[in-house]
C-alpha cells in the first residue's frame, strides 16, 4: 500500500467512524451485503444523491432549516439529545438514511417502524405553550420537505454527478416513498411541488431562541477537536450559503453574497471533493 493509500484509508476510516458510529462497519455490511429486494434500484436517483459527499453539506443545511419550525425545534431540543450526544444522533440518522436507501426492503421497513415508534413517545409543549407531537403528520412532512430540499440542493451544487431536471423529479418522487412510510401526508413528488410546499410553511417558521442556540452549536461550537474544525468550517459555510435569504436574520446567519458565490462555493467543492477522495466514492 502506498503512502497516499495509507493516508486515505486512515482519514476515511476516521471520518466513517465519526459519521456511522462504532457499529458502522457491521451496519455497512448488513445494509450492502444482505441479499434481497430493495425499495430502490441500483441506478435510482435517491441512491446517487444519498451516496454522495454533498450529503455532508445537505445534512447541515437541513438541520438549520428544520430548526425554524418552533414545534419541530422544541421536540429536538427536549428529546433528541443533540447537545449531549451529537455523534450518536448523527450515527442514528446516517444509518437510517443508508438503510432506507440501500438496504433490503425488510430492513428499510423495520428502520421506519423504529423511528415511528420513537415519534409516538415524543410529546411536549413549546416555551410559548404550544403542544407538539413528533408523530404529527404536519411536522413529519415539514422535516421531510426540509431534508429533501436540502439534500437535493446540495447535490445539485456540490455532487459529483448532478441530476438533470427529470432526475430531480425522480429523486423527489423516490424520497417521497420514505416520507409516506414515516407518516407524512401529501408529500411532494416533483421538484416544483417540493419548492411549493417549502414555501407553504413559511408563515409557521421563525427564529426562536432554541433555533438560534442550535445554529450556534452547529456552526460556532461543534464538539470537534481543533485540527478538524477548519475543514468542518468549510462544510458549515457551504451549508449557510445555501440557506434562503429569508432564513438568515431569524437564525442570526450572515449574508455575504459575493463571498458565498466565490470563496465559499470554492471551499465547498474542495471539502466535498476531499471527503469523496477519503471515502473512496466515485468522482
- Spell out the per-residue pLDDT of the chain, length 283, in tens: 676 777 777 777 777 776 877 888 999 999 999 999 999 999 999 999 999 999 999 999 999 999 999 999 999 988 877 776 777 788 889 999 999 999 999 999 999 999 999 999 999 999 999 999 999 999 999 999 999 999 999 999 999 999 999 999 999 999 999 999 999 999 999 999 999 999 999 999 999 999 999 999 999 988 888 888 999 999 999 999 999 999 999 999 999 999 999 999 999 999 999 999 998 877 6
Q: Say what the pLDDT of residue 16 is.
A: 74
Q: What share of the chain is helix, strand, coil (3-state, %, to 5)?
A: 70, 5, 25
All three cell numbers of 108: 428499510
Q: Which domain holds residue 145?
A: 3-279
| CA distances to 31, 100, 143, 237 from 50, in Å | 14, 10, 16, 20
Nearest Cα residue to 73 out of 246, 260, 211: 211
Query: For the chain, what is the domain count?
Result: 1
Lookup: cell for 263: 470563496
| Whether 243 contacts 65, CB under 8 Å | yes
Torsions phi, psi for 141 (to 5 deg): -65, -40
| DSSP state at residue 223 | S
Amino acid at each position: 500500500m502506498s503512502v497516499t493509500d495509507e493516508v486515505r484509508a486512515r482519514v476515511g476510516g476516521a471520518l466513517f467512524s465519526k459519521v456511522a458510529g462504532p457499529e458502522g462497519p457491521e451496519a455497512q455490511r448488513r445494509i450492502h451485503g444482505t441479499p434481497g429486494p430493495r425499495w430502490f434500484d441500483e441506478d435510482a436517483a435517491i441512491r446517487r444523491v444519498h451516496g454522495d459527499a454533498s450529503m455532508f453539506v445537505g445534512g447541515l443545511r437541513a438541520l438549520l432549516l428544520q430548526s425554524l419550525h418552533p414545534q419541530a425545534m422544541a421536540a429536538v431540543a427536549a428529546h433528541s439529545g443533540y447537545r449531549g450526544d451529537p455523534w450518536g444522533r448523527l450515527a442514528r440518522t446516517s444509518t437510517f438514511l443508508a438503510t432506507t436507501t440501500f438496504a433490503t426492503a425488510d430492513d428499510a421497513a423495520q428502520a421506519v417502524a423504529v423511528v415511528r415508534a420513537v415519534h409516538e413517545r415524543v410529546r411536549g409543549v413549546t416555551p410559548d405553550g404550544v403542544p407538539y407531537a413528533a408523530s404529527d403528520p404536519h411536522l413529519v412532512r415539514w422535516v421531510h420537505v426540509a431534508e429533501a430540499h436540502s439534500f437535493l440542493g446540495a447535490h445539485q451544487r456540490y455532487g459529483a454527478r448532478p441530476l438533470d431536471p427529470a432526475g430531480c423529479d425522480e429523486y423527489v418522487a423516490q424520497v417521497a416513498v420514505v416520507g409516506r412510510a414515516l407518516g407524512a401526508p401529501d408529500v411532494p413528488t416533483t421538484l416544483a411541488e417540493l419548492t411549493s410546499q417549502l414555501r407553504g410553511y413559511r408563515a409557521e417558521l421563525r427564529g426562536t431562541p432554541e433555533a438560534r442556540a442550535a445554529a450556534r452549536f452547529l456552526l460556532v461550537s461543534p464538539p470537534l477537536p481543533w485540527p478538524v474544525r477548519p475543514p468542518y468550517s468549510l462544510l458549515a459555510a457551504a451549508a449557510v450559503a445555501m440557506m434562503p435569504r429569508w432564513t438568515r436574520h431569524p437564525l442570526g446567519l450572515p449574508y455575504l453574497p459575493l463571498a458565498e458565490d466565490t470563496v465559499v462555493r470554492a471551499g465547498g467543492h474542495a471539502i466535498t471533493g476531499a471527503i469523496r477522495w477519503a471515502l473512496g466514492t466515485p468522482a
